[in-house]
Structure 1
């Protein structure tokens, strides 16, 4: 398996990267990044990208030869001072890669998109907290799934975790937040499991993420 990764220096993406490096079924990782990730491995190739809004035909063709993409770039609106920039990163960057890869794919390709709990594909989120985040992630989900409808070999899975907890979170906090949160290592495990072939629905909820990562302890 050869996997594309975005957001490899972030909270979730860095955990995904380390697990990909250790995963026996993953033979190659292409990390798209603006700068060095501070990680080295024989199976890791860092592809430096200056402009995430444009991928030429040659790059798209090379990327489409991978088996999957795990997209963790984006974050929350509250992490960005400029809403226009957040929209460009969250929606624009994602579709700018997904569209040409979907069009170039000549064999099954899985796109695992890190969305979030409450994402609204109708863009009608009502609660004020992170409204832009939920609407833009919902729009991105909708457009990715539309690409999957247009291209038979392009398969999309939208992951909707709630709160994302650190690896060393205390047991009591973990149990109290179980319905609405997931540990970052479990989220990474679930993303990789689906990217490497485990079946899942178009939308993967917080509880489903935990069941994929830890089938026997999903409620913990």
Structure 2
């Protein structure tokens, strides 16, 4: 399968990148990035496309990505920046549908456990960030319906809670980690990649389901 990845230089995106490169079902990986990624310069499976503006997709870029099977959108902010959370993903979706001809495209969106789609809901902590990310989730979940492409586009939102580095806090009992509501970065990445490759009957995945799926995959 051909997969597109954004946010590859970030904490979670970096782990997704590593696992994508090792996954036998992913034969081609297109990374959309603002800057070069030196480790991928000679990788046979990966191609990095430098994006000067994530709101604009030149024709050569559209041609390169339009035949992909899925995208893992791991780009996000901690402050709910409207341009990054809303404008960037919607620009990507419209560019994809511009030239796509066959097969349903699967879009896996990295959200968060505390995001809120209701923009009028009263929030007592991090209101701007939670609403901003929630608005991005809402718009992307409804993209296919709003643009008449339900036969060609599928959105799945993943909502991890606190994400821990995979090689940190290994001394913690998994039961304690589960009770607190954390997820390891490798569990998060594994669950997102699996959904991108195999689809899901659920349109939204909460943290507990991601932990269970990721843990099972990593134990195989």
**TM-score of the two chains, using structure 2 as the length reference:** 0.88
User: 1:50 — aligned with what?
Assistant: 52
Counterpart CA distance in 2 for 1:204 and 1:64 is 26
Q: Is 1:130 equivalent to 2:126 in the alignment? A: yes
Counterpart CA distance in 2 for 1:26 and 1:54 is 26
1:29-178 superposed matches below 5 A: 29-40=29-40, 41-77=43-79, 86-106=81-101, 107-149=103-145, 150-151=148-149, 152-168=151-167, 169-172=169-172, 174-178=174-178
Asked whether the equivalents of residues 70 and 196 of structure 2 are also in contact (C-alpha less than 8 Å), the reply is: yes
How far off its partner does 1:209 sit? 0.7
User: 1:22 — aligned with what?
Assistant: 22
When the two chains are superposed, the root-mean-square deviation of aligned CA atoms in Å is 2.1
Asked whether the equivalents of residues 106 and 199 of structure 2 are also in contact (C-alpha less than 8 Å), the reply is: no
Counterpart CA distance in 2 for 1:109 and 1:62 is 15
Counterpart CA distance in 2 for 1:187 and 1:124 is 30
How far off its partner does 1:72 sit? 0.7
Query: Residues 131 and 21 of structure 1: is their aligned pair in 2 closer, same or farther, counting only changes over 3 Å?
Result: same
Specify every segment of 5 or more residues in structure 2 that has no aligned partner in the other structure, as ranges: none
- CA displacement, residues 166-201 of structure 1 (integer Å, 9 cap, x when unaligned): 112233265323142110000000110011114241
Counterpart CA distance in 1 for 2:204 and 2:98 is 22
User: 1:185 — aligned with what?
Assistant: 186
User: 1:202 — aligned with what?
Assistant: 203
Counterpart CA distance in 1 for 2:14 and 2:108 is 16
Asked whether the equivalents of residues 69 and 112 of structure 1 are also in contact (C-alpha less than 8 Å), the reply is: yes
Counterpart CA distance in 2 for 1:195 and 1:183 is 19
SS in 2 for 1:214: helix
Asked whether the equivalents of residues 164 and 183 of structure 1 are also in contact (C-alpha less than 8 Å), the reply is: yes
How far off its partner does 1:216 sit? 8.7
- CA displacement, residues 46-68 of structure 1 (integer Å, 9 cap, x when unaligned): 00110111113443343121000
Q: Is 1:214 equivalent to 2:207 in the alignment? A: no
User: 1:80 — aligned with what?
Assistant: none
Aligned residues: 211
Counterpart CA distance in 2 for 1:114 and 1:137 is 10
- CA displacement, residues 82-132 of structure 1 (integer Å, 9 cap, x when unaligned): x7xx22112111111112213433211110000000222212453332222
**TM-score of the two chains, using structure 1 as the length reference:** 0.88
Of 139-148 and 10-19, more deviation after overlay is shown by 139-148
